[in-house]
Amino acid sequence: ETGVTQTPRHLVMGMTNKKSLKCEQHLGHNAMYWYKQSAKKPLELMFVYSLEERVENNSVPSRFSPECPNSSHLFLHLHTLQPEDSALYLCASSQALAGASTDTQYFGPGTRLTVL
Amino acid sequence: SQQGEEDPQALSIQEGENATMNCSYKTSINNLQWYRQNSGRGLVHLILIRSNEREKHSGRLRVTLDTSKKSSSLLITASRAADTASYFCATGGNSGNTPLVFGKGTRLSVIA
């Protein structure tokens, strides 16, 4: 295991539902990330948090709302999603501050999201 | 974009053979990393090579980096069925706060 856990592992939701994805890292890292992985597309960076402050937001639709209450936990709140939002959502963490790309990232197992 | 692009998209080999995957990118980098992903799971870091390094080894893995050609290769020697996975390269920019950029990956199948 990588030291990064995600719950739930699978989620099926309707377009009017509200749900949250949870990520927890046990590595004492300073930066945390949300990625979206769709079939046949590169991994898409959604959000980066460094010491609980958002430092990167790659123009993600407002129906995705991140929350980072402390340096070990990261949430992704979902509401009024679309079927095209179905994907594997991956959380990662790294030691470096501000999500610097000089550092190795440690990934959780992902949440497989299906929007009906 | 500095996005890495892996080649080939898919590779199928027999157990015991060597597997070579390539990654090309477009802009200057600070480092290049290779990750592995088993089906439906998270990515696992394999190796990081810095822009001033040309070759790096880790067990059965050998990574090369040619900054003049903006390319890298990952060689897995004596492949095993358990090596079946997708392999991604990720490039790190020279600016301190730029995040890693991942490619689409190479799907490797090792047949026993």
pLDDT (tens digit, 0 to 9) for every residue of chain A, 116 residues total?
A: 779 999 999 999 998 889 999 999 999 999 999 999 998 788 999 999 988 888 777 789 999 999 999 999 999 999 999 999 999 999 999 987 755 667 889 999 999 999 99
- Asked if A71 contacts A93 with a C-beta cutoff of 8 angstroms, the reply is no
User: In the prediction, which pLDDT does B93 show?
Assistant: 76
Q: Give me the residue from B48, B96, B101 closest to A100, CB to CB.
A: B96
In Å, what is the CA distance from A54 to each residue of A47, A58, A64, B77, B101?
A: 7, 11, 14, 41, 18
Counting as low any pLDDT under 70, the low residues of chain B are 1-2, 94-97
Q: Give me the residue from B41, B48, B96 closest to A109, CB to CB.
A: B41
User: In the prediction, which pLDDT does B74 show?
Assistant: 98
Cβ-defined contact of B42 to A90 (cutoff 8 Å): yes
Which of the residues B45, B95, B101, B106 would you substitute to probe the A interface, choosing the one with the greatest number of A C-beta atoms within 10 Å?
B45
Q: Which residue of A has its CA nearest to B104?
A: A42
Residues of A in contact with B36 (CB under 8 A): none
User: In the prediction, which pLDDT does B97 show?
Assistant: 64
Nearest to A5 by CA among A111, A116, A109: A109
